[in-house]
């Protein structure tokens, strides 16, 4: 059974200085200490390891075979320890680390995208892993500590112990085909959509449960003619005149052939929020939040 050693790294630094200088006097000067305590430290290390590390002559010092092996391994170990400690210091300053960030897909095409791009460029040692999920799933993952923070739309009440910060304002727009009569309006009243057919994504995965409630408050239930899984498929069907849709304004920043976006007279908020546990926030996450909320 291997013996477990508890050796102070300082002893290895003392040893390495003597091994590289092959002279106790020069090693002591290099370490800014006197020679007698250095000799005692080396003897302490030899006693702990149960083997001689140096062959001592009256005027010279030579490494034993064990000493040569320890010199090689000490260099590697001390270098590794230095790198680890430097990285921990970076993590403590928020200059390094890993952030598990839950997002909804539409968030990445709005004002958050250039801010995130700048943050990643300015903090190359911070790894941000994006986990695309809808709000309910993100909240569950936050509670299980599988995410550091979650980003979604609308002010939903987070679970106890979690904080919610608004990143920026956003709105839902109506998207219609180029030849649709609503294109002639600068703004569209919600009630004008009463007799329109809608193309949507399933309510369980998107904001459509919220949007259906908004329509019902305006006096109608949207007539959903198609449900598809991806927003680009929704907009492709809109471009073909199959139906219209309500979608976050971040999508209007991209070119969708055959699709025209119009604002609604009654603003439907699609504001982005970040949800996280302040008590568990790492320096890197705090730095990211500061960038996103600046």
In terms of domains, do 126 and 164 share one?
Answer: yes
**Separation between Cα atoms, residue 222 and residue 174, nearest integer Å:** 13
Percent of the chain residues past pLDDT 70, beyond the cut: 94
Mean pLDDT (the chain, rounded): 88
Q: Which two tokens stand for residue 34?
A: 């006197």
Element of type H or E holding 39: helix 35-49
Asked if the model's pLDDT at residue 289 lies above 90, the reply is yes
Which residue pairs, CB below 8 angstroms and at least 24 apart, start in 201-206?
201/227, 201/228, 201/229, 201/230, 201/231, 201/234, 202/227, 202/229, 204/134, 205/134, 205/229, 206/134
In terms of domains, do 163 and 241 share one?
Answer: no
Q: What is the pLDDT of residue 274?
A: 93
Nearest to 8 by CA among 78, 75, 61: 78
Could you tell me if residue 41 is inside a domain?
yes
Nearest to 205 by CA among 144, 147, 132: 132
Could you tell me if residue 161 is inside a domain?
yes
Rg of the chain's alpha carbons, rounded to an integer?
Answer: 32
pTM: 0.65
Instruction: Give residue-wise pLDDT tens across range 137-189.
Output: 898 999 999 999 999 887 567 778 899 999 988 899 999 999 999 999 999 99
* Angle, helix 283-293 to helix 112-122, in steps of 10 degrees: 140
In terms of domains, do 183 and 255 share one?
Answer: yes
Backbone angles phi, psi at 247, to 5 degrees: -150, 155
In terms of domains, do 141 and 284 share one?
Answer: yes
**Separation between Cα atoms, residue 42 and residue 19, nearest integer Å:** 10
Could you tell me if residue 1 is inside a domain?
no
Domain CATH number, residue 54: 1.10.10.10
Domain final residue, candidates 92, 111, 127? 92
Burial class (CB in 10 A: 0-12, 13-18, 19+), 46: middle
Residue 229, domain extent: 172-263
For 88-138, give the DSSP string. HHHHHTTSSEEEEEEE-GGGGGSTHHHHHHHHHHH-TTEEEEEEE--HHHH
Domain tally, the chain: 3
Lowest mean pLDDT among 2-16, 235-249, 251-265: 2-16
In terms of domains, do 116 and 159 share one?
Answer: yes
Q: How many CA atoms lie within 13 Å of 178's alpha carbon, on the beta-carbon side?
A: 7
């Amino acid at each position: 059974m291997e013996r477990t050693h508890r050796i102070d790294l300082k002893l290895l630094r003392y040893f390495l200085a003597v091994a590289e200088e092959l002279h106790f006097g020069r090693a002591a000067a290099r370490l800014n200490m006197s020679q007698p305590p250095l000799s005692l430290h080396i003897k302490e290390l030899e006693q702990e390891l149960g083997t001689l590390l140096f062959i001592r002559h009256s005027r010279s010092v030579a490494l034993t075979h064990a000493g040569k092996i320890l010199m090689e391994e000490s260099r590697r170990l001390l270098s590794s320890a230095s790198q680890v400690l430097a990285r921990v210091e970076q993590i403590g300053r928020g200059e390094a680390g890993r952030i598990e960030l839950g997002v909804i897909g539409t968030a990445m095409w709005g004002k958050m995208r250039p801010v995130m791009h700048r943050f990643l460029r300015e903090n190359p040692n911070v790894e941000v892993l994006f986990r695309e999920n809808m709000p309910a799933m993100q909240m569950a993952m936050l509670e299980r500590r599988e995410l550091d923070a979650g980003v979604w739309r609308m002010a939903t009440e987070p679970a106890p112990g979690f904080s919610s910060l608004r990143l920026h304002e956003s709105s839902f727009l109506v998207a219609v085909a180029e030849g649709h009569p609503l294109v002639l309006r600068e703004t569209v009243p919600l009630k004008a959509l009463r007799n329109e057919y809608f193309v949507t994504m399933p309510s369980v995965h998107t904001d459509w449960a919220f949007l259906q409630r908004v329509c019902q408050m305006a006096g109608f239930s949207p007539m959903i003619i198609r449900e598809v899984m991806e927003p680009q498929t929704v907009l492709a069907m809109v471009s073909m005149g199959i139906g219209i849709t309500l979608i976050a304004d971040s999508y209007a920043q991209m070119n969708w052939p055959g699709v025209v976006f119009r604002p609604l007279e009654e603003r439907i908020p699609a504001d982005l929020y970040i949800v996280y546990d302040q008590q568990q926030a790492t320096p890197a996450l705090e730095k990211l939040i500061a960038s996103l909320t600046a």
